[in-house]
Structure 1
């Protein structure tokens, strides 16, 4: 995947876009300032295997950057793993918050039902019968969602 950074994006908007990246992704910049902002963010996050490209008008690569971590002790590697895990958590929370904000905006409610999640129109969320009706759409959580009861039982 690649993302393009428009020259008029704020640093916060650039940060939001960069949070969507995964290893192997590319960032295309057409402005030196945006290129430098992206490079500084990637370097600060120490995200390896993200290629940041500064492209000219004809899409020719003018400059490129890819963060290369230094050789580290196992303790430093472990800390970086924890930091990366924290970054992943922050990205997931941010994505979920965007989804919930969108649900609120369009009048939908996400409800914990039985051992999963369902999405229903807001006006049906309080009706237990509606939660098992055709209006309730189940969410495929890929076994990433669990209830506290399930946690305590295992």
Structure 2
């Protein structure tokens, strides 16, 4: 259902709108103050699948949010799999970082960059290198901030 909030609606009216809205509803407001108030009320009420939209004076959408559960908002990986903490052992933020790294690795592949592990270092080499497992002049030692450890590294 599409709900238009009148500009003069008070806090009680806003609370009633949030209480009565259900999944799939869209709430339109005209003021930033109402937008912020409704956003806080949506979060407090833990309403799912509600779209909150702020419409400017010319009728254009200037801001919008769509409420979702955290696991629903997690993006799918390049393989089309959706991860949750129960499936992977990682929380949503960690999975977001991992998916970003996967996207970077996809860009590396597209641009012809291979990543090779040398003990406790991560090294990038051109994909055209004859033997990517031997260090070349073209190799680049990545600063992994201590996050990467190679298979040969004794912990």
Whichever structure has more helix as a proportion of its residues is 1
Structure number, greater radius of gyration: 2
TM-score tier after normalising by the smaller chain length: 0.3 to 0.5
